[in-house]
Structure 1
Amino acid sequence: MHDTASETRAPAAEQAGNGTQHARRFGLPTATALVMGNIIGGGIFLLPSSVAPFGTLSLLAFVVLTVGAITLALVFGRLAQRNPRTGGPYVYAREAFGDFAGFLSAWSYWVMTWVSNAALAVAAVGYIDVIFPGHLSKWTHLAVALAALWLPALANLAGTRWVGAVQIVSTVLKFLPLLFVAVVGLFFFDPHNLGPFDPSGGNVLGGLSAAAALLLYSYVGVESAAMSGGEVRDPERNVGRASVLGTIGAALVYLLGTVSVFGTVPHRDLVKSSAPFSDAVNNMFGGQWGGTLIAVSAVISIIGALNGWTLMSAQAPFAAAQDGLFPAAFTRKQRGVPTFGVLVGVVLASLLTIVNYTTGATGVFNILVLITTFSATVPYLLAAAAQLYWLVSGRGHQVRAGRFARDLALALGAFGFSMWLVAGAGYAAVYQGTLFLFAGVLVYVFMKGRRVSAEQA
């Protein structure tokens, strides 16, 4: 193990792709909105009914997972103090373990972003059907899905100022209705609507693990500030703060929203509900307008998530390309955004979406979505392992008397949380994801071989 990346560490004002310095454009509020917006996608609107079969025990699972996610966020903050470059988990893995580990982190994260973006776009179409009821054609669905991909991409191509503006606005717009349901729902809370604490009949640990498996990926996105470290002002302080604040903000929305829905929708109805937040609003105020309101919120939520994840899809290959592990074209940057990476990511997501709608190849699409669930965990595991490496080897300049035990406990907790994510992904996801991860080795061999050949020339 060696420090192969120490010579590439960027100064406080990171070099842009064209060799000129640029001002960091993400302050703490924007970085926090990026984390929170990426964590909260469209899945939150189905979460209460997804975990309802496990009873109110699932609320305890939320609390346990939140602690794990905050632990991981704190570790990202510690690692950003050591190296605040754009690329986050990739940078940490490469600096600790060398090129190959760094490449695996970047490859895995990159694949996860553009495949999951396609899945988010398809999810947006379902909510559009609620807003505009009727029998929309397959081609209309495809057009809506592509628009959901390209509008955030255009915001990214306009520069980090636009990315930040869209992220803050979309986060506020989706946070307010969710918070409204969460807070107002407490006034309509009826304990009789709650189901049993543990419907399994005494197997609390089993129920807790089963509920957690459904909820684990609700916190993917905690790394977003670290991934964009090169664009964050004062990243040594703000990456960690934004990661923790964004995670806590998302957790509050998740937990309060789920509690309110549990208390306003009878358990027997909630288990079968396909729109739990809409049912909660309808039960509170009567009528059927809640469905449209929540559908609009869901679309805004997904567009905000796509805005942030489109940027993430370009950051990992940008950092790897700077080190010669991805094609050099990924280093092209304008107005603080890796434009080539944005374009490649949105084109790949668009092609996958087109295949999904035109061929009906849902089997292939579902396999790729499974791959993303495993791919998200690889950078987390390597980043937590990198922090453990710096602590155990005593080479991190942040490791000081009085902090070692605390940082070691955090790193072990983050590693354990990441392993829990792997277990929660399921056998199929791990199997498919591992095959796809190893397929990336061919890309590494090609890029590494070209770099060595150029150095010897």
Structure 2
Amino acid sequence: MLDQHHTRRFGLPTATALVMGNIIGGGIFLLPASVAPYGTLSLLAFVVLTVGAIALALVFGRLARRDPSTGGPYVHARAAFGDFAGFLSAWSYWTMTWVSNAALAVAAVGYVHVLAPGHTSSKGMDLAIALLALWLPALANLAGTRWIGAVQLVSTVLKFIPLLFVAVVGLFFFDPDNMGPFNAGGGSAVGGMSAAAAILLYSYLGVESASMSAGEMENPERNVGRASVLGTIGAAVVYLLGTVSVFGTVAHKDLVNSTAPFSDAVDAMFGGTWGGTLIALAAVVSIVGALNGWILMSAQAPYAAAKDGLFPAVFAKRRRGVPTVGVFVGVVLASLLTVVNYTSGSNGVFATLVLITTFSATVPYLLAAGAQLYFLLAGRRDEVRTGRFVWDLVLALAGFGFSFWLVSGAGYAAVYQGVLFLFAGVLVYVVIAARRQSQSQGADGAAAGDGTAAAGDGTAAEARIP
């Protein structure tokens, strides 16, 4: 239970900002250029993916009505399928968060260089910037939920101002001739849309953020679903409007080769080169805000599992409503990975681990959507339904399909590496489960011994009765 004297629960605005901030990190600033080679059909892929993401958000809302506890996907997977499935969900989510946090910190370095073009770059300086990007939001997390909420709200507002500016103002400079062909990649339209979707799929990671922090929210039974849907829709609006505006203001032949599409869009609208500085500043704010939310997420999954004895007990410790040990361990691991990235002389290890996260992120989604299907089909509909069984079943199937699409879009290498890393967690589970069993047997033996002793005392007492 939260200490009401030191913590403040997240309200709906803060929870919505958490979802939006976690979904939109630094990747949006390169997204239009990434999908430009496939043409405008990538916008259609965006719409399809948005529908799937909203369905998954609604599923998380339904599940939170049943159990509004911190841990989200882990809690629901364990309730439906047992300890082992719950552990796999928590393990996958935990590893995904701290590895991706390292990737975000490294991404921030490039944007800082744009903001300070005159300084001399070195590996030592880049490492210091990346570690600073990790530890500043970590300190906000360690200060408690009050500071987490404040940083998330401020960073979300600050990063959306320039993004919405480009998205909305760009429509007034829109030139259809810049859009390029519908299926620029050639071949079948279905194949092109699938290829574009493979790039766009991970734009919606973070839809579960409200569910992960349900225990720290006001009225989570109601607000988890609302924050998940509102945050996902808000992110989708920024994604779609921003991409459309960039498509319409930057010539297609230039956009395909662009390394800063939003900056190019601002320069095309107003001239000059100040757009790069503006977008770089927005990107830094965006990444710091995303790290603020994802650092919290990196602590929530092991916290929930530790409460059930499926992670080391130290992860269950909290201060000011925050699992401080989980925050600290996650940031230390991300920092170590960042150091490896800058000192190993090769990005091979780092790239491999980042590849693993693309698969690891999908495991909790699949298990959560599967849990919703299980509750609906196993005679436990009243726990998660809204009164419309068919609608809830369709949403659960759509959420599962979206999650399955995430797995297929990850690619063979990501799935292969991810499965190996997932199965490595089995050894951790074996150790924890064996220890739990040993402790349980020891407690049962002690209880039995106390009962035998008590019975013996009773027999002795009867023997003394004349």
TM-score interval for Structure 1 and Structure 2 normalised by the shorter chain: over 0.9
- Aligned-pair RMSD on alpha carbons? 1.3
> Is 2:87 aligned against 1:106?
no
SS in 2 for 1:85: coil
Specify the alignment match of 1:12 in structure 2. Answer: none
1:266/1:401 CA distance change after superposition, 3 Å: closer
Is the contact between residue 21 and residue 286 of structure 2 (CA under 8 Å) also seen in structure 1?
Answer: yes
Letter of the 2:93 partner, please give it: Y
Identity %: 78
When the two structures are superposed, what TM-score results if normalisation uses the length of structure 2? 0.93
SS in 2 for 1:86: coil
Structure 1 runs of 4+ with >3 Å offset: 20-24, 398-402
Structure 2 residue corresponding to 1:377, chosen from 362, 375, 379: 362
1:396 deviation in Å?
3.8
Specify the alignment match of 1:67 in structure 2. Answer: 51
**Of the two, which has the highest radius of gyration?**
2
1:363/1:81 CA distance change after superposition, 3 Å: same
1:22 deviation in Å?
7.8
Structure 1 residue corresponding to 2:117, chosen from 133, 156, 167: 133
Specify the alignment match of 1:184 in structure 2. Answer: 169
1:200 deviation in Å?
3.3
Specify the alignment match of 1:271 in structure 2. Answer: 256
Distance 1:22 1:127 in 2: 36
Specify the alignment match of 1:35 in structure 2. Answer: 19
Specify the alignment match of 1:79 in structure 2. Answer: 63
Is the contact between residue 97 and residue 298 of structure 2 (CA under 8 Å) also seen in structure 1?
Answer: yes
1:234 deviation in Å?
0.3
Is the contact between residue 371 and residue 430 of structure 1 (CA under 8 Å) also seen in structure 2?
Answer: yes
Structure 1 residue corresponding to 2:142, chosen from 145, 153, 157: 157
Distance 2:229 2:109 in 1: 31
1:402 deviation in Å?
4.3
* Structure 2 segments unaligned to the other structure (5+ residues): 443-466
Specify the alignment match of 1:5 in structure 2. Answer: none
Specify the alignment match of 1:397 in structure 2. Answer: 382
Q: How does 1:174-253 map to 2 (within 5 A)?
A: 174-201=159-186, 203-253=188-238
Distance 1:167 1:212 in 2: 28
1:21 deviation in Å?
9.7
> Is 2:451 aligned against 1:456?
no
1:184 deviation in Å?
0.4
When the two structures are superposed, what TM-score results if normalisation uses the length of structure 1? 0.95
Specify the alignment match of 1:120 in structure 2. Answer: 104
Is the contact between residue 24 and residue 233 of structure 1 (CA under 8 Å) also seen in structure 2?
Answer: no
Specify the alignment match of 2:38 in structure 1. Answer: 54
Is the contact between residue 57 and residue 208 of structure 2 (CA under 8 Å) also seen in structure 1?
Answer: yes
Specify the alignment match of 2:457 in structure 1. Answer: none
Is the contact between residue 69 and residue 75 of structure 2 (CA under 8 Å) also seen in structure 1?
Answer: yes
Structure 2 residue corresponding to 1:312, chosen from 260, 282, 297: 297
1:142/1:387 CA distance change after superposition, 3 Å: same
Q: Deviations over 1:351-395 (max 9, x none)?
A: 000010011230010000000000000000000000000000021
> Is 2:7 aligned against 1:26?
no
1:320 deviation in Å?
0.2
* Structure 1 segments unaligned to the other structure (5+ residues): 1-14
Specify the alignment match of 2:337 in structure 1. Answer: 352
Specify the alignment match of 1:435 in structure 2. Answer: 420
SS in 1 for 2:382: coil
Query: Bigger shift: 196-205 or 232-241?
Result: 196-205
> Is 2:417 aligned against 1:447?
no
1:52/1:318 CA distance change after superposition, 3 Å: same
Specify the alignment match of 1:295 in structure 2. Answer: 280
SS in 2 for 1:398: helix
Distance 2:313 2:370 in 1: 28
Specify the alignment match of 2:130 in structure 1. Answer: 145
Distance 1:204 1:241 in 2: 35
Q: How does 1:318-357 map to 2 (within 5 A)?
A: 318-357=303-342
SS in 1 for 2:93: helix
